[in-house]
Chains A and B, each alone.
Chain A
C-alpha cells in the first residue's frame, strides 16, 4: 500500500480534569495526580456516588460575542480551539482567508436530551424553547466554525467513544485531498446526568477511582474535556516556516460487526484498524515508541486491548491515561491524541495510573511507572460502542 503523505500538527489545545491547557495536563500526568470525585453539577438518586473527572476550574472565556447560548460541550470545544489556534500562530483574521475545515467528535454535544425540558413537556407544561435553541446552537463543529468565521467543510462525528480519534483521521484526509489548507480536528464532551445514568445502567462504572488493566478493575469513571489539533498542509506549514509538534502519519478504522456495546473478544476489529494504519504509514512496529491504549478500565475492553497489543506489538510499552482524565467519551480520543504527541516529544510516558496488580488473564500489562521511550512514532487507539475501532499514528515533529 502506498504510504500517505504526513500531515503536520501545528497547534494543540487540550483541557480536561487534569488541567485547563495541555501544559497543565502534562504536568498533572507526570506528577501522578488525579482526583475523581462525585459530580457537583448534577445529582442522582443512586445509592453510590460514582466518582467522575469533572473540570472544576473556570475555563477561560473564549467567545468573541455571547449572541448564542451554548452547551458546555461547545464551550469546551471553543476553549481547546482557542489554545490550539494560538499555539499554531493563527488568529481569526488570518484563518478567515484560508480554506479551513472543522471536524469534531462528540456524544453529548449532539444529543437532544435536556431533562428539565423533557420532564416539563411530559408533564404537559409547555416548556419554553431555550434548551432546544441552546442545543441547536451547540453542534461543536458548527460552534467553532461560527466563532472563527470559517466557511469550509464542517463535520461532527458521533461515533461514540472513538469520535475524537475518527475526527482527527478524517480531518487529516481533508488536507491530503486538497479540500482544506487547515483543519481544526478533535473532540469535545461534557459530563451529563443522562450518560452518567446510562453507563451506570450498563454496570460498567467503577464506584472507586478507575483501574485500567488492573486485576481488580471494575469499570470506567466518566470524564469531560476537549482537545483540538490544528492540522495543516505541508506547503502552508513550510511557507510560513512554522514548526510542527507532530505529523499525522495514518488513520485506520474498522468495525467488529459483533455487538452493540461489547468488543469482539478476538480483537479482530482493532487488529484490522491497527493493520490498516500501520500499512499506510510505511513504518514497522520497531519504530513504535509507545501505544496509548483506550484503557477504560472495563473488564472486556482491557482484555481485548491487552490481547491485541501483546499479539501485534510485543514488548512495546503501552499505557492508559483514563486514570487521570476519566472517560471523556467523544473527546477521549482527541485528548489522548494530544497526550500522545506531548509524550512522543518528551520521550517519556507517565505511569498508567490505577494499574497496581497485574491481571493473570491479560497477556500484556501497561507501564506501572513513568517510562522513558524511544522511537519515532506513537499510536493512539479508541474502541467504541457499536464495535468501532479507530487508530491514529503520529510521527515526531520538529518543534
Chain B
C-alpha cells in the first residue's frame, strides 16, 4: 500500500496554501482569534483558530459559490489549492476519486436548518439548508466543480476519520478504480461546538495549547481543511514523497509500531483524555515534534500533521515544535529546525477511546 503525494492544499487559522503553512512553521506564530460565547448568562471569550475562505474567489466565481456553506468552502478551497499545487487544475478529472474525512460535518448548516423549522414551523424548513447539511454535500460540491466522476466517499469517524479515509484511498489506487484520489480532512467551528467545549472542559479557556503537558487540558478549537492529491507510485520522485504505511488499531490489543528511524509527528492536541495514550505508548526519548499549537484541536488534525510531514519531505527539513508546547514530556521534542536526511516520518494520532492511527511517509 503506497501512494504518491502530488499536491497539497491546506486551509487553517494561519491562512491558506502550503507556503503560508511553511511560513507559520518557520515563525511558530499562533493565530487563534477570540470569539465571544454566552454561557450561563455570562459572556466569555474563547480562542478559536478560524479560517478565511475568501481566497476561493481566485478559483470560482460568486455564482458557483452561491448557496455553498462555510464547510463546503473549506473543502473546495483545500481541493483547488491541492490541484493547483499539483499543476492539475486544468487536467481532465473524469477518473478522479474524491474522499472527504470529517469529524462532525457541516455543523453550522445542520443547526441553521433546525433554526428554519424552529422559527417558522416544520413546513417552512429550508430544503437548501437540508441538502447542504448532509455529510457528503462538500464532497458533492468538489466533484461537481472539478467534474470528478470517479468514486466519491465521505467518512466520519471522529479522530480516526482521516486514517480510515486514507485506507480507502490507497485501496482504490491499488485496485485502479481511479487515476488519482483527492483526499481531504475538513472540520469547522460552530458556536454549539464552542458551548460543548466549555461545558466539557471548564469555563476558563486556555490561553495557549500545551499539548505535551499530558495532564493539562489545553486544547483550543481549530477548523480548516487539508487536502492531498494522491496517485499510484509511477516510478518518479513526487515532490512530497509517498505514504508508505497506514496502521490503525486499538491500544487494547496493539501498539503503534513506528519504523525505527522515523521521526514522530504527534497529534497530541491538548486533550487530556487522549494525552495519556501518548505518554504511555511512545518510547522514552523518541524523536518527536508537535505542531498542533499552530492549527488547533480538530478531529481531522491528523491531515494537518500529514501535510506538515509532506512539506518536511519536500524541504528535507523537520520544522521546530512551536515554543511553549509544554515541558517534561519525557520525549525528545525538537525545539529547533533540523535536516530530515531523507528519513521517514510517522504521524501518530490517538483518540480519547484508545484507538490509534499511524501514517508513515517517506521521500522515496
Our verdict on whether A and B bind, yes or no, reads yes
B164 beta carbon closer than 8 Å to chain A: yes
A385 to B106, CA, bound (A): 15
Separation of A1 and B158 alpha carbons in the complex (Å):
36
A197 at the interface (CB under 8 A from B): yes
Q: How far is the CA of A254 from the CA of B141 in the complex (A)?
A: 15
CB-CB under 8 A from A201, the residues of chain B are: 125-127, 130
Indicate with 1 or 0, residue by residue over B96-132, a CB within 8 angstroms of chain A CB atoms.
0010001011010011011101100111011100111
Q: How many residues of A contact B (CB 8 A)?
A: 69
Interface residues of A in 100-132 (CB under 8 A from B): 107, 110-113, 115, 118-119, 121-122, 124, 126, 129, 132
Q: Please determine whether B143 and A253 come into contact, CB atoms closer than 8 angstroms.
A: no
In which size bucket is the chain B interface? 35 or more
Q: Which residue of A lies closest to B172 (CB)?
A: A173
Choose from A136, A152, A387 the contact partner of B248 (Cβ within 8 Å).
Answer: A152
Closest Cβ neighbor of A4 among chain B residues: B175
Known contacts A118-B111, A126-B40, A158-B105, A200 near B252 by CB under 8 Å: no
Contact B148 A257 (CB under 8 A): yes
Q: Is B147 an interface residue (CB 8 A)?
A: yes
Q: How far is A154 from B121 in the complex, measured between Cα atoms in Å?
A: 38
Across the interface, A256 reaches (CB within 8 A) one of B41, B149, B171, namely B149
CB pair B98–A151 under 8 Å, yes or no, is no
B37-78: CB near A (< 8 Å → 1, else 0) gives 011110000000000000000000000000000000000000
B329 at the interface (CB under 8 A from A): no
Q: Is the interface of A mostly helix, strand, loop or mixed?
A: mixed
| Cα-based distance from A157 to B152 in the complex (angstroms) | 11
> What B residues does A37 contact at CB under 8 A?
none
Once the chains are docked, how many angstroms separate the CA of A179 from the CA of B196? Answer: 36
Q: Which residue of A lies closest to B146 (CB)?
A: A257
Asked if B229 CB lies within 8 Å of chain A CBs, one says: no
Q: Which residues of A contact B199 (CB under 8 A)?
A: 126, 129
Contact with A along B162-175 (1 / 0, CB 8 A): 00100110010011
Identity of the chain A residue whose Cβ is nearest the Cβ of B191 in the assembled complex:
A121
Interface pair A255/B122, CB less than 8 Å apart: no
Complex interface: stretch among A41-49, A52-60, A297-305, A358-366 = A41-49
Judge whether A155 and B157 touch: CB under 8 Å.
yes
Cβ-defined contact, B252 with A149, below 8 A: yes
Interface residue? B281 (CB, 8 A): no
Distance A338 CA – B274 CA, assembled complex (angstroms): 38
User: Are A388 and B136 neighbours in the complex by a CB distance under 8 Å?
Assistant: yes
Contact of A157 among B134, B154, B177, B250 (CB under 8 A): B154
A215: chain B residues at CB < 8 Å are: none
Contact yes or no, A387 B158, CB < 8 A? no
Please tell me if the beta carbons of B122 and A44 are within 8 angstroms of each other in the complex.
yes
Cβ contact within 8 Å between B164 and A155: yes
- Residue of B39, B146, B152 near A253 (CB, 8 A) is B152
**A153 interface neighbour in B115, B149, B164, Cβ under 8 Å:** B164
Contact between A113 and B147, CB atoms less than 8 A apart = no
CB pair B174–A156 under 8 Å, yes or no, is: no
> Does A9 belong to the interface (CB within 8 Å)?
no
Contacts of A154 in B (CB 8 A): 157, 160, 164, 248, 355
Are A197 and B122 neighbours in the complex by a CB distance under 8 Å? yes
6 A-B interface contacts by CB (under 8 A): A142-B353, A152-B248, A156-B155, A254-B149, A254-B152, A255-B143
| Beyond known contacts A158-B102, A260-B131: 7 more, CB 8 A cutoff | A110-B135, A118-B114, A149-B252, A158-B156, A202-B130, A260-B141, A386-B143
Interface pairs A-B: 6 shortest CB-CB: A386-B140, A198-B130, A158-B135, A253-B151, A151-B250, A255-B152
